[in-house]
Amino acid sequence: MRRLTIDLSVGIFVLIGILCLTFLAFRVATSNTPGLGATHTYTLYANFNNIGSLKVTAPVKISGFVVGRITSISLDTKTYKAVVIMQINDNYKLSTDTSAEILTTGLLGEQYIALQSGADNEYLKNGDTISITSSAIVLEELIGKFMTNMTGKN
């Protein structure tokens, strides 16, 4: 086996391997930040009474379009509300009276945060808190309400 042939075929092998890794990294997987390589994000906070089964890395959407991701969920020990921290892409400015609610994709799908933009002229800055929030819908509570309504009618 000549040296040139070996060098050439090993080079092709390594090239194929690196191409496959790039394919896996950019076509198959997505990084946790919104959009491809969107490093310019700002942080928003939101307090919820009940986050249901919301998870870290769940998307934040406006009109169904992904504008950010949830990076952390914790519990405020003073108010006993869940604090959700999300990273929003810098390209999307949100007015200060934006409201956040937790919705579910499909009947049994994963939960996400839907933002509803307001009419205020001022915009939320890095580290601000979204004040208007509504909790996740819990199926058991819904059924409970339905049951009490039914018994009330009878």
Partner 1 sequence: MKYIFVRLQQLGHPFAEFILHLGGITSMLFEIIISLGYPFRKFFLIMKELYFCGVRSIVIITVSGWFVGMVLGLQGYNTLQRFGSVSILGSVVALSLLRELGPVLTAILFAARAGSGITAEIGLMKATEQLDAMNVMAVNPIKRIVAPKFIAGIVSVPLLSALFNVSGIMGGYFVGVILLKLDSGTFWSQMQDSVSLHNDVINGIIKSFIFGVAVTLISVYQGFIAKPTAEGVAIATTNTVVSGALTVLALDFILTALMF
Residues near partner 1 (CB under 8 A):
1, 3, 6-7, 9-10, 12-14, 16-18, 20-21, 23-25, 27-32, 57
Burial class (CB in 10 A: 0-12, 13-18, 19+), 117: middle
Give the bridge partners for 69, in sequence order.
59, 87
Nearer to partner 1, 33 or 135 (CB): 33
Nearer to partner 1, 109 or 152 (CB): 109
Nearer to partner 1, 21 or 147 (CB): 21
Burial class (CB in 10 A: 0-12, 13-18, 19+), 151: exposed
- Spatial separation of the C-alpha atoms in residues 96 and 104, rounded to whole Å: 24
Tell the smallest beta-carbon distance from residue 90 to partner 1 (Å).
21
- Spatial separation of the C-alpha atoms in residues 60 and 67, rounded to whole Å: 6
Nearer to partner 1, 38 or 83 (CB): 38
Name the DSSP class of 138.
P
Tell the smallest beta-carbon distance from residue 57 to partner 1 (Å).
7
Residue type, 147: M
Tell the smallest beta-carbon distance from residue 19 to partner 1 (Å).
8
Tell the smallest beta-carbon distance from residue 71 to partner 1 (Å).
13
